[in-house]
């Protein structure tokens, strides 16, 4: 009977111990995973400027790290905070006034049904949709309430990552159970997908948001900045994308008795904002890479459930990381591997 070699058995037991301790530690720290991912995302973006400040400009690590953290806070945190508070307040108001909103929607649908003699939504469907919408909105708001603590923790971790830049990268490469060339491949690919998701996806949404903002300003749309924020966020979603913004806006405008303006907004959203998405994707694919729409779609769904608002970015990163690990497994341990 074949026996397991003692050194292999000790190795498996040791790995099992590491795994169990990791589970024990990660479980209570689960709510702070977005902070860790956010810190590493910012680290990938700021590592080159950090190297430039310390190597070229001869800054010491602490002032350089603090300067970059302040700059990133101005560039990223303030706009994110603006979007967050704008949408959160509106969502809270929406949840509070849900019965009134549902009544208005039912009245609008009844007008369409009577005018065109069709059955769009039954009472049962409306009630089920109402219950689902309220539940999802509350879960979304609850998952996002810890945003400030997450942000502060992310910047604290980022500070230590920046001032220990070389040591952290060496430790990362040392801990990976891969050959050196595959470890370098993982680092390069992972940094690329972080840039593609953390920079590319939000930039797509912002570009489409500004494309919509022009039309909203000219048309005199009420709550113009709210619709701008909705356009930016929906622009991060694949498949339907900004249709989540301009179609409801056109319906609201039509219900207010402005059918011509509603039609103009609908056509502008379909042709202009939609075209901006295609042009921006081609440009970003050449500059920093692109993420497959299905990865973005399922990543956003999973990310919103796990992390709340920041899941728009970190969800696709997680799915891309899983796909990368599968590729590395085949590359490292595939049938063509030679030890």
* The pLDDT value given to residue 67: 92
* The pLDDT value given to residue 109: 67
Is it the case that residue 100 has pLDDT exceeding 70?
Answer: no
pLDDT tens-digit map of 126-139: 566 666 666 666 66
Across 44-58, 193-207, 221-235, 288-302, least confident range = 288-302
147 falls in which pLDDT band (50, 70, 90)? Answer: low
Provide mean pLDDT across the span 204-213.
87
* The pLDDT value given to residue 206: 86
Q: What would the two tokens of residue 173 be?
A: 């490469």
Is it the case that residue 92 has pLDDT exceeding 70?
Answer: no
Of 199, 234, 173, the closest CA to residue 72 belongs to 199
Rounded CA-CA distance 263/253 in Å is 9
Q: What would the two tokens of residue 89 be?
A: 């307040």
Provide mean pLDDT across the span 157-180.
76
296 falls in which pLDDT band (50, 70, 90)? Answer: confident
Provide mean pLDDT across the span 328-336.
68
* The pLDDT value given to residue 58: 87
Burial class (CB in 10 A: 0-12, 13-18, 19+), 268: buried
CB 33 within 8 A of CB 40: no
Rg, C-alpha atoms of the chain: 24
Is it the case that residue 335 has pLDDT exceeding 60?
Answer: no
Rounded CA-CA distance 132/127 in Å is 9
Is it the case that residue 63 has pLDDT exceeding 70?
Answer: yes
* The pLDDT value given to residue 339: 47
270 falls in which pLDDT band (50, 70, 90)? Answer: confident
If one compares 121 and 112, the residue with the highest pLDDT of the two is 112
pLDDT tens-digit map of 243-256: 888 888 888 888 77
Transcribe 260-293 into DSSP letters: HHHHHHHHHIIIIIHHHHHHHHHHHHHHT----H
- Distant-in-sequence, close-in-space partners of 46: CB < 8 Å, separation ≥ 6: 68, 72, 158, 162
Rounded CA-CA distance 154/43 in Å is 10
Neighbours of 106 (CB within 10 A): 14
Rounded CA-CA distance 293/299 in Å is 10
Provide mean pLDDT across the span 312-320.
77
**What element of type H or E holds 303?**
helix 293-307
Rounded CA-CA distance 227/175 in Å is 46
288 phi/psi in degrees, rounded to 5: -130, 5
239 falls in which pLDDT band (50, 70, 90)? Answer: low
If one compares 133 and 47, the residue with the highest pLDDT of the two is 47
Q: Which DSSP letter does residue 76 get?
A: I
Rounded CA-CA distance 285/290 in Å is 5
Q: What would the two tokens of residue 175 be?
A: 């801990």
If you average pLDDT over every residue of the chain, what do you get?
75
Place of tokens 């709340």: 308
CB 106 within 8 A of CB 126: yes
Is it the case that residue 68 has pLDDT exceeding 70?
Answer: yes
Polymer length in residues for the chain? 339
């Amino acid at each position: 009977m074949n026996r397991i070699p003692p050194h292999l058995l000790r190795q498996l037991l040791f790995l099992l111990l590491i795994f169990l301790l990791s589970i024990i530690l990660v479980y209570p720290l689960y709510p702070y995973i977005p902070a860790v991912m956010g810190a590493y995302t910012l680290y990938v973006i700021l590592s080159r400027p950090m190297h430039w400040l310390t190597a070229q400009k001869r800054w010491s690590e602490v002032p350089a790290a603090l300067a970059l953290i302040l700059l990133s806070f101005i560039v990223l945190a303030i706009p994110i905070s603006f979007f967050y508070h704008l949408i959160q307040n509106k969502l809270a108001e929406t949840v509070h006034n849900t019965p009134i909103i549902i009544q208005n929607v039912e009245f609008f649908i009844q007008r369409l049904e009577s005018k065109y003699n069709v059955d769009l939504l039954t009472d049962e469907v409306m009630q089920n949709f109402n219950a689902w919408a309220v539940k999802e909105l509350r879960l979304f708001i609850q998952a996002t309430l810890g945003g400030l603590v997450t942000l502060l923790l992310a910047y604290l971790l980022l500070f230590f990552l920046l001032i220990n830049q070389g040591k952290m990268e060496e430790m990362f490469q040392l801990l990976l159970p891969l050959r050196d060339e595959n470890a370098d491949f993982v680092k390069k690919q992972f940094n690329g997908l972080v840039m593609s998701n953390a920079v590319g996806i939000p930039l797509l949404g912002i570009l489409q948001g500004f494309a919509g903002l022009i039309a909203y300003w000219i048309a005199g749309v009420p709550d113009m900045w709210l619709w701008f924020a909705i356009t930016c966020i929906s622009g991060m979603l694949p498949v339907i994308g900004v249709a989540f913004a301009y179609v409801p806006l056109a319906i609201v405008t039509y219900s207010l008795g402005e059918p011509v303006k509603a039609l103009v907004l609908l056509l502008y959203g379909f042709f202009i904002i939609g075209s901006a998405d295609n042009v921006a994707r081609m440009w970003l694919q050449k500059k920093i890479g692109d993420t497959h729409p299905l990865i973005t779609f399922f990543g956003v769904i999973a990310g919103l459930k796990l992390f709340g608002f920041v899941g728009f970015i970190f969800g696709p990163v997680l799915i891309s990381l899983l796909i990368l690990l599968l590729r590395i497994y085949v590359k490292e341990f595939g049938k063509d591997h030679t030890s």
